[in-house]
Chain A
Amino acid sequence: MTGQEEGALSGRSDFQAIAAWVRPDSTVLDLGCGDGLLLKYLKQTRNARGYGIDIADANVLACVKNGANVIQSDLERGLAGFDAGSFDCVILSQTLQAVRHTEQILLEMLRVGREAIVSFPNFGRWDLRLQIALGRMPLSPELPYEWYNTPNVHLFTIADFESFCRGHGIHILERVALNRGRPVRTLANFFGSLAVYRFEKRR
């Protein structure tokens, strides 16, 4: 198995964590929805009424093939077509590290959604720290790209994200750190390969 295929598989490991936080029959908007399989999973497991947003032609086609609703649109230009509070939950699954307008998108998620869920690869995991300490840009199943071909533009750690939330009026409701699919009990920022958060606007 190549690093990339492994990455794609572990990409599914946040589905369960996300689904556990999506209330039955709720409306969800999945930003950067890719092939639409998360939406399909949420429909099957939570009877969620979901829509995805993606800019790539190939992903829009994949969503239609998978029977997921998809709106072709550029996330980086915000969610102008969506009314405030029009979704129960807005999800950004393993995409935050690949967007340019990070701040704007997180705030847009909380404008359109009553709450939001993000998952991202934790750049603070010990093996990544070690690789950097040894002088190389790190590779892992969650971050399978070489420095020269990565779509990721903003790599960050669990500690970075929580600090961001504190500074931007974001109230974290729940957090799960996963280590290759299994929950991490202690030292999340050291052992977690993937972090999943549920959050809302601080009231």
Chain B
Amino acid sequence: MGAVRPQTLSFTEPLRFRSGAVLDSYDLVYETYGTLNAARSNAVLACHALNAAHHVAGYYADDPDNLGWWDNMIGPGKPVDTEKFFVVGVNNVGGCFGSTGPKSIDPRSGKPYGSSFPVVTVEDWVDAQARLADRLGIASFAAVMGGSLGAMQALQWTISYPDRIRNAIVVAAAPRLSAQNIAFNEVARQAITTDPDFHGGDYYGHGVVPRRGLRLARMIGHITYLSDDAMMEKFGRALRSDSIQFHFDVDFEIESYLRHQGDKFSEYFDANTYLLITRALDYFDPAAAHGDDLSRALAAARARFLVVSFTSDWRFAPSRAREIVKALLDNRCDVSYAEIDAPHGHDAFLLDDARYHALVRAYFDGVFERL
């Protein structure tokens, strides 16, 4: 994939959220790769997870180091081949990379939405994505794909718009968060909301950002993305200097790494968006409306599925993916499930793994044949 450019579309038809809140108008920032064919049948939507956005593949001409978050998966000759498919990446509503979110100006007040931005759910995101598809002339996606929270969006597509998605690629996913998953999110949110610079979410007017909170949120998140083994392999107990220093500043490499990740993240990510996205994760639970029966929740699904998990992912372990597979089997959906023996933990869905990528490539060859 060469240099790419983000684009923006404005929507003036109000978007009604699951909470009942309404966004009268909004912008969505998106990127596309490849060419939509004449039949408009080769579109693929790549959904982002917690800390990514619409920049899925390629780089920017003025920022050649800024590679898309799934650039190893999507591009010419890649597993999702942009010489065959027209791939769309979009920053979700509530985001902080150009789509309307808490740091955008609320036209009613002339000030940033801040704490008044509605709590957004996976269902709401999918609705907004469907509006984007309408505007792009995409009646049905050949595939909707994502990892982690992105996978939840792919799953929700098969429920909300069963006739508009032909394949769902669901990677490193869970059908809903466990108590432990929610607990980690709550620690992250508490870190942000108790930061004195948070100002109840309306920090924009104070010329500050809750940097300390964001930093901690990112640090704890990062721990859950990696496996114990991967972290040990990468950092071990290696020290920054020759010996321990008998202080509370950085001694171990892992401390330095986490601080660096936290610092970097707090420079570019909006704290309110972090709160919204972790909440969307918490609230995602398609089975809840069907007596906690995921099979009934997926009864409407018509898509074919590829479900992939990673053995070392303790955040969304393979057993969680199997819950999805079981529900799909109950509904006699076409589904293939692979459990990739990878050491990297939850982050594996973003990494280059020959077996994983070969599988996605083979699956997309089939998607292309069935176009």
Contacts and interface: CB of A to CB of B under 8 A. Distances in A.
Given A72-B337, A72-B339, A49 B362 contact: no
Nearest to B366: A67
A74 B330 CA distance: 20
A27 B337 CA distance: 18
B337 A70 contact: yes
A49 B331 CA distance: 12
A154 to B, nearest CB: 26
Contacts of A68: 336
A86 B332 CA distance: 10
B350 interface: no
Contacts of A60: 336, 338, 359
Interface stretch (B85-93, B234-242, B321-329): B321-329
A161 interface: no
Contacts of A51: 329, 335
Interface in A30-66: 49, 51, 57, 60-61, 63-65
A82 interface: yes
A63 B337 CA distance: 11
A135 interface: no
B363 A69 contact: no
A167 interface: no
Interface of A is mostly: mixed
Given A64-B306, A64-B359, A81-B326, A69 B365 contact: no
Nearest to A81: B326
A27 B332 contact: yes
A63 B336 contact: yes
Given A51-B329, A81-B322, A82-B329, A71 B362 contact: no
B355 interface: yes
Contacts of B366: 64-65, 67
Contact of B332 (A49, A61, A82): A49
Contact of A64 (B329, B339, B362): B362
Contacts of B362: 61, 64-65
A48 to B, nearest CB: 11
A65 B363 CA distance: 7
A65 B334 contact: no
B358 interface: yes
A71 B355 contact: no
B61 to A, nearest CB: 36
B149 to A, nearest CB: 23
A64 B332 contact: no
Interface in A61-96: 61, 63-65, 67-73, 81-83, 86
Nearest to B307: A71
Contact of A69 (B322, B330, B336): B336
A180 B104 CA distance: 73
Interface string B290-323: 0000000000000000100000000000000010
Interface of A: 27, 49, 51, 57, 60-61, 63-65, 67-73, 81-83, 86
* 7 nearest CB pairs, A to B: A64-B362, A65-B362, A71-B337, A72-B339, A72-B338, A70-B336, A60-B338
9 contacts: A57-B355, A65-B365, A65-B366, A69-B334, A69-B335, A69-B336, A81-B322, A82-B329, A86-B330
